[in-house]
Amino acid sequence: MPPKKGGTNDVATNVVAFGRVRKNLKMGCVGLPNVGKSSLFNLLTEQNAAAENYPFCTIEPNEARCAVPDVRYDFLCDLWKPPSMYPAYLQVTDIAGLIKGASQGEGLGNSFLSHIQAVDGMYHIVRAFDNDEVLHVDDSIDPVRDLNTIQSELCKKDLDILAKTIISEEAVVRKAGGKFKMNPLFPSTVEKIRAMSLITTKPIIYLVNLTMKDYLRQKSKYLPLIAKWVTTHGGLPRDIIPFSVEFEENVYKMKKEGNEEGMIRFLEESKVKSRLEKIVTEGFTKLGLQYYFTAGEKEIRCWTVPRGCLAPQAAGAIHGDFERGFIKAEVCSYQDFHDLCEGGKSMGPIKAAVTKDVTSKK
Q: Which residues lie near ligand GDP (CB under 6 A)?
A: 31, 33-39, 97, 129, 131, 134, 209, 244-246
- Put the strands of the sheet holding 63-67 in their side by side order: 57-60, 63-67, 89-94, 26-30, 121-128, 204-210, 240-243
CA 116 to the chain's CA centroid: 14
Note whether 55 and 68 are within 8 A (CB).
no
Note whether 337 and 345 are within 8 A (CB).
no
**Residue 126 binding target from Mg ion, ligand GDP, none, CB below 5 to 8 Å by type:** none
Contacts with Mg ion: how many residues (CB under 5 A)?
2
Residue 211 binds Mg ion, judged by CB under 5 A: no
279 phi/psi in degrees, rounded to 5: -60, -45
C-alpha distance from residue 13 to each of 6, 7, 206, 305, 343 (Å): 10, 10, 18, 17, 36
Cα–Cα nearest to 29, from 91, 88, 109: 91
> Measured from the CB of residue 129, what is the shortest distance to ligand GDP in angstroms?
4
Q: Which is nearer to ligand GDP, 31 or 235 (by Cβ)? A: 31
**Residue 109 binding target from ligand GDP, Mg ion, none, CB below 5 to 8 Å by type:** none
Q: Which is nearer to Mg ion, 38 or 209 (by Cβ)? A: 38
> Measured from the CB of residue 139, what is the shortest distance to ligand GDP in angstroms?
15
> Measured from the CB of residue 292, what is the shortest distance to Mg ion in angstroms?
35
Note whether 256 and 178 are within 8 A (CB).
no
Cα–Cα nearest to 3, from 219, 171, 235, 164: 235
Torsion angle of C-alpha atoms 203, 1, 12, 22, degrees rounded to 10: -30
Contact partners, residue 273, CB within 8 Å, separation at least 6? 267
**Residue 294 binding target from Mg ion, ligand GDP, none, CB below 5 to 8 Å by type:** none
> Measured from the CB of residue 101, what is the shortest distance to ligand GDP in angstroms?
17
> Measured from the CB of residue 44, what is the shortest distance to ligand GDP in angstroms?
12
Segment 31-60, which members bind Mg ion (CB under 5 A)? 37-38
> Measured from the CB of residue 33, what is the shortest distance to ligand GDP in angstroms?
4
Q: Which is nearer to ligand GDP, 212 or 227 (by Cβ)? A: 212
**Residue 36 binding target from Mg ion, ligand GDP, none, CB below 5 to 8 Å by type:** ligand GDP
Q: Which is nearer to ligand GDP, 35 or 205 (by Cβ)? A: 35
> Measured from the CB of residue 107, what is the shortest distance to Mg ion in angstroms?
13
**Residue 28 binding target from Mg ion, ligand GDP, none, CB below 5 to 8 Å by type:** none
**Residue 209 binding target from ligand GDP, Mg ion, none, CB below 5 to 8 Å by type:** ligand GDP
Rg (CA), the chain: 24
Site residues for Mg ion per CB under 5 A: 37-38
